[in-house]
Amino acid sequence: MKKIGIIICKRYHTCAGGKCLRAMHNREGAFSLYKGEEVELVGFTTCGGCPGGNVEYAPAEMKKNGAEVIHFATGLVVGYPPCPRLEAFCNYIPAKYGLGVVIGTHPIPQNYFLTHEKLGTWQSDKWQDRIKHVLPEVEMRLAYD
């Protein structure tokens, strides 16, 4: 069984996690990495708000609960602007806690895709690599709108 934690952007602190949980249940978006595996959510929290102070401490609790991987919610890449500290977070957690990190949870919704396409947000190779697990075909993006 894969045990995971999810960290969401503080600006979405009222999110009930519906899209993330749906994607986890259906093994869609970044959770497609676990097809054929059981997955257990052992922690769900916000980054704490810029500059992300909760990222320094929340993974410790998640690790105590058995987390092997921390997923940064899709909101950190689809919000505007995307999280400017994402790379630092992705470097910090493995170094400090020895946990894997995945960028993304649920598939990118079509409305966010269209906006960021117009803005050119994700045109670089770096961004293409960051969103690779959450950028499905248009039908799936529409299903998450």
Domains annotated for the chain, with CATH where assigned, are 2-143 (3.40.50)
For residue 4, list its beta bridge partners.
41, 69
pLDDT digits (tens, 9 = 90+) for 44-74: 999 999 999 999 999 999 999 999 999 999 9
Res 50: pLDDT:
95
pTM above 0.85, yes or no: yes
How far is residue 104's CA from residue 127's CA, in Å, rounded to a whole number? 12
Angstrom distance (rounded) from CA 75 to CA 89: 15
pLDDT tens profile 68-122? 999 999 999 999 999 999 999 999 999 999 999 999 999 999 999 999 999 999 9
> Residue 119: which residues within 8 A CB-CB, separation 6 or more?
80
For residue 24, what pLDDT band results from cuts at 50, 70 and 90? very high
Residue-level pLDDT at 123: 94
* Residues in CB range of 43: below 8 A, 6 or more apart: 5, 6, 58, 61, 62, 65, 67
